[in-house]
Chain A
Amino acid sequence: MDAKRKDFIATVVIDLIVAAVVGILVFLLAYILISGLPHVSWSFLTGTTDAFSGAGGIGVQLFNSFYLLVLTMLISIPISLGAGIYLAEYAKDNWRTSLIRSAIEVLSSLPSVVVGLFGFLLFVVKFKIGFSVISGAIALTFFNLPLLTRNIEESLSAVPRNQREAGLSLGLSKWKTEIGIILPVALPGIVTGIVLSAGRVFGEAAALIYTAGQSAPVTNFSDWNPMDPASPLNPFRPAETLAVHIWKVNTEGLASNAAQLSAAASAVLIIAVLLFNLGARVLGNFLYRRVTASK
Chain B
Amino acid sequence: MLKQYSFEKTAVQTFPDNVSLAMRTENLQVFYGANHAMHDADLGFPKNQITALIGASGSGKSTYLRSLNRMNDNIATVTGKIWYHGVDINEPNVNIYEIRRHIGMVFQRPNPFAKSIRENIVYALKANGIKGKAELEERVETSLKGAALWDEVKDSLDKSALALSGGQQQRLCIARSIAMEPDVLLLDEPCSALDPISTVKVEETLLELQKKYSIIIVTHNMQQAARVSSQCAFFHLGHVMEYTPTATMFSNPQIPVTQDYISGSFG
Contact = CB atoms under 8 A, between A and B. Distances in A.
Size band of the B side of the interface? 20 to 34
Interface string B56-72: 00000000000001010
A180 B127 contact: yes
A54 B98 CA distance: 68
B113 to A, nearest CB: 5
Contacts of B105: 165, 169
The 7 closest A-B pairs by CB, nearest first: A171-B101, A170-B124, A162-B111, A169-B105, A294-B116, A171-B100, A293-B160
Majority SS of interface residues in chain B? Answer: mixed
A189 to B, nearest CB: 13
23 contacts: A163-B114, A166-B113, A168-B100, A169-B69, A169-B71, A169-B104, A170-B100, A170-B104, A170-B176, A170-B177, A171-B101, A171-B124, A171-B128, A171-B180, A172-B124, A176-B127, A180-B127, A184-B115, A185-B114, A292-B115, A294-B115, A294-B116, A294-B158
B109 A169 contact: no
Interface string A148-184: 0000000000001011011111111100100011001
A62 to B, nearest CB: 39
B107 A169 contact: yes
Given A291-B114, A292-B162, 19 more contacts: A160-B111, A166-B111, A166-B173, A166-B176, A167-B113, A169-B71, A169-B107, A170-B100, A170-B104, A170-B124, A170-B177, A171-B97, A171-B124, A172-B97, A180-B127, A184-B115, A292-B114, A293-B159, A295-B158
Contacts of A294: 115-116, 119, 158, 160
Nearest to A166: B111
A173 to B, nearest CB: 6
Interface in B119-155: 119, 123-124, 127-128
Majority SS of interface residues in chain A? Answer: helix
A288 to B, nearest CB: 9
Nearest to B99: A171
Interface of A: 160, 162-163, 165-173, 176, 180-181, 184-185, 291-295
Given A162-B109, A295-B116, A168 B71 contact: yes
A213 B192 CA distance: 64
Nearest to B116: A294
Contacts of B69: 169
Which of B113, B158, B173 has most A Cβ within 10 Å? B113
Contacts of A184: 114-115
Interface string B86-109: 000000000001111100110101
B175 to A, nearest CB: 12
A163 B113 contact: yes
A156 to B, nearest CB: 14
